Amino acid sequence: MPSELTSLLQARTPVVWAERADASVSAFVSVSVLIPAERERLAKLKHPRVAAEYLHGRSRLRTALGLWLGIEPAEVPLTVNAHGKPIHVDGAVEFNISHTNGWLAFAVSNSPIGVDVEVLQTSRDLAGLVQRYFSAHEQGQFAALPPSLHAAAFSKGWTCKEALLKAIGTGMRDVQRCTVNLHPDQPAEVLANVPATGFWRLASWMLDDVTRLAVACPSTNVFGFPHRLSTPT
């Protein structure tokens, strides 16, 4: 772990981190921090890229949680909730992880948090996806934007919605029940939330020219991002 990140985690400071899974990072990723069940799952992953992403993500996450809790990475007790979201057994730390196209992003906090990272989509039927998965308000906002902003608006909307629902813990089944601001040039914002889940705030930024990251946490959290870190692109 980079020294700045290590210090923040040891101080239990909420943090969001993003990094490329390149050779320099992979040198610090080790199967030794995984528990037997995770090693078995890794062995069953036949696609090299998928296996590498799983090892990278789980190794980095266990290392981060171990620093936060002051224990060895392999001793961090993890399970999943009713919706399949990985959680700490005793709720002593909140976390979330996402990866795509060689990027890994994770967030660690003392309150619920969600993170999502996605590559800009330009070749898919974005209008059709918005019609299927976005709320009526979001559909109207998307249609009112010039076509030149459609890819960026979809990327922002999708990452923000997924980060929000991962923070809430219900998963994408409620994707049409929450509304976020899609406009790529305006601040990320929750416009209408899933009922009975409290108040949430969003942050969103580009990691490189085609990759967007979004994070969601309760409005009661210090939203600075407590500490938002990302490696140079």
Convert the pLDDT of each residue in 119-161 to its tens digit. Answer: 998 888 999 999 999 999 999 999 999 999 999 999 999 999 9
- CA dist 126 → 152, 153, 182 (Å): 10, 10, 13
Whole-model pTM?
0.88
Q: Select from 61, 56, 54, 67 the least CA-distant residue to 30.
A: 56
Domain identity same for 180 and 204: yes
- 55: domain CATH number is 3.90.470.20
Domain identity same for 127 and 213: yes
List residues bridging with 201 in a β-sheet. 217
Domain identity same for 177 and 99: no
Q: Is residue 177 part of a domain?
A: yes
Domain boundary among 76, 92, 110: 110
Range of the domain at 94: 3-110
pLDDT tens per residue across span 159-207? 999 999 999 888 788 899 899 999 999 999 999 888 777 789 899 999 9
Work out how many domains the chain is built from and give that number.
Answer: 2
